[in-house]
Structure 1
Amino acid sequence: MAVGTLTTVPVPAPRVIDRRVAGGAMLLAPLAALPLAVVAGLVVAAGQAAHLPALATAALALGAVALGSRGLHLDGLADTADGLGASYDRAKALDVMRRGDSGPTGVATLVLVLLVQVGALTAANPVTAAAGVLVGRCTLSMACARGVPTARPDGLGATVAGSVPRVAAIAVGLAAAGLAVLLPGLPWWRGPLAVLLSYAVAGALLWRCTKRLGGITGDVLGATVETAVATALVALST
């Protein structure tokens, strides 16, 4: 479920999708996204080796990640921004998010977040580029932890909301921070700080969405991933 939902890697569909499977999928999200992280790192390495402009290399790396994830999280970011900017009426905001189009708020948010990601990635190396992709997916377990409600009775959000035990969600964050100490070419504290800031920004967005929308949706999950990736890349850029 994790690989099939978060990437374009062809895998068999899960036989059963219940709370246990959904929670496990969100916990395994960083591992499922490893191919995307590897692709991002390889594109950055190839661009640097070929002496391509840093801006072009960064855009190609992010484009490859978006292609490998079907643009799922970018779509969620735009839809979430449209919903939050549409109305203080919860039902209307959710209706706007369900539509397939993107309004000016969603487009502007998407462009601004991508500009931040591209700008930060121009100063990244292959390892930090891959790390930024993975840190963003680590926050999915937090967004799906026990106690986080769903905004709708159906959809991806309803399937995964509250499916991850809090202890397990905390363990993912601690593991990410611990492994980030090993990032080469950076002070030991830089990686854990990037993880902490990414969780803080994603958590703030999650809090806002649960207050305004009553819980999470699949779009909200995508928005938390993209904001966390942007934060991690900025924190890891040199």
Structure 2
Amino acid sequence: MTRFMAWLIVLGLTFTLGPLSVARAEDPGCDDKVDVCEIVIVEPGDPSDPKPGEPGTPRKKVVPDCADIAADGVVAPLGVTLSDLGLDDSDHSGWVRMTCLIAGEEMWLWFDPAENAESIARTLLARLQLQPPKVGWTPTTTGAMGYVGVPTWLWVAEPGRLTWGPATISAAGVSLTARAESVTWSMGNGDEVRCANKGTPWRKGMGAEPSPTCGYLYERQGTYRVTATVHWVARWSGYGRSGAIPLSLSQERTLEVGEIQVIVNR
């Protein structure tokens, strides 16, 4: 038996036309024609950032494990064509391939991109490795106490491509752009504040007025575990198909709230 036939027997038992496991957050597949993912990060309001395909676009070679790619298909050794696999008929004319790893050895994953466009999009979303927000609020001094009846300002601190977006990635004929669309603040007492923006950072001299965009007023003293959940939407398109993938990422922080004591001397 030839080495090629042995590979096909082993791979046929494990991978032939069966659903592979959902991709993890690291190392999804890329277009095998260049063996790179084209990743474009766009900072809001910065027209100087490169667009897909323009010079300066960051590129990184990625070779994932075959089992991490969320696509149905056939895995074969490098160089094995659809014809070699007996799949050179009209039903498989549109199939493409990605490079992936089995036990550290590079292989080709052949699959129908039209049937797996959303799976590819989810794999690309995982590759972005979006991050939870950094919580910003008043009082701004670390360890300082908030006060009952004094407005607490809420915002996403240091928003960037991975904590607010937008961030764009494309590979294997699919493009995806993820951006945050709202934030839900769970205030630790059962109340929630939904803000359709990242909030307004408080600056010295702004006083104790309520936030113009996102804030809350505590009525009781106590220790509150505040959770900021950023709601993302990743919109993708490719091979004549498109869709949107929701994603939420959260961060927690503890806020001490006390009461202002008024002492009257007589």
TM-score norm. by structure 1 comes to 0.26
Pick the structure with greater CA Rg.
2
Q: Write 1 or 2 for the structure with the bigger share of helix.
A: 1
Q: Write 1 or 2 for the structure with the bigger share of strand.
A: 2
Highest relative contact order (Cα 8 Å, sep 6+), 1 or 2?
A: 1
